[in-house]
Structure 1
């Protein structure tokens, strides 16, 4: 089975990456597309811990619900006109590291991702997620503009 990983965040480039992955998968046998969404862990926001652990749990619950809803919506839209198999995964942590760890651990054959996500501020502070994935992944990475 050929396995494609597509990191998504709801941005236009990420949705174009989903379309590109579907185009690659269509007409081939045994292709699976896994959509992955990485929420920042509350650990990375020190002010949460000042309020207390209950806020951490609340934030995680909201993130879980919103992240899974976004993944479900993208899968529903993408699967309307294709019979490609989709899976989803919601993780917490630093996006580039989580994407690469997941791709490497599950032996994905290809990562298809948008060139820019929603977090312009995060890109200035942390650097481009797509650039980091390009350099850290053990499999080929396709960057979609």
Structure 2
């Protein structure tokens, strides 16, 4: 990289899914030059489980909420450490970040806050009907992130 030139910022969003880890590996294998010359962020957003929000049965006990949040934090940290290790094995240094909240919103907010120039996401391959009912993080980010978005889908022949 030339002196005086600022590094581009690239973010890979990961979760527990195989598709997000495939996207990370794909990016490291196929965008090696871009990524090695960039500041790489590995991002994880842990949604608050819906059963912990207040319902018609009342709010859940505070100790249950605390336990679930602590477990989510452990899962997120383990995911991020594994991703950081994968990056290091490819000779790439990465920064990790985690948030709690709706992944769609958290990813787009992080992109804007960090001034990310390329967002990389995995695609879980949901069909149109599933996306309509369940929503799609990648679809939301393609339409709302303030940077180019690369959605990586694992080919069916690699399953």
Q: TM-score, normalised by structure 2?
A: 0.77
> Per-residue displacement from partner, 1:11-40 (whole Å, max 9, x unpaired)?
222112112332455335641221111111
Cα distance in 2 between the residues matched to 1:58 and 1:116: 28
Report SS of the residue matched to 1:83: coil
Aligned to 1:5: 11
Aligned to 1:89: 97
Report SS of the residue matched to 1:27: helix
Q: Is the 8 A contact 1:8 1:15 kept in 2?
A: yes
| Residue 78 (structure 1) aligned with residue 87 (structure 2) | yes
C-alpha distance 98-25 of structure 1, shift in aligned 2 (>3 A): same
Cα distance in 2 between the residues matched to 1:76 and 1:7: 15
C-alpha distance 123-53 of structure 1, shift in aligned 2 (>3 A): farther
1:77 Cα offset (Å): 2.4
| Residue 111 (structure 1) aligned with residue 119 (structure 2) | yes
Q: TM-score, normalised by structure 1?
A: 0.84
Q: Is the 8 A contact 1:25 1:84 kept in 2?
A: no
Structure 2 alignment gaps of length 5 or more: 1-6, 154-159
Q: Is the 8 A contact 2:44 2:80 kept in 1?
A: yes
Rg larger in structure = 2
Report SS of the residue matched to 2:106: helix
| Residue 27 (structure 1) aligned with residue 36 (structure 2) | no
Moved more, 15-24 or 32-41: 15-24
Report SS of the residue matched to 1:68: helix
Structure 1 alignment gaps of length 5 or more: none
| Residue 41 (structure 1) aligned with residue 79 (structure 2) | no
1:104 Cα offset (Å): 0.7
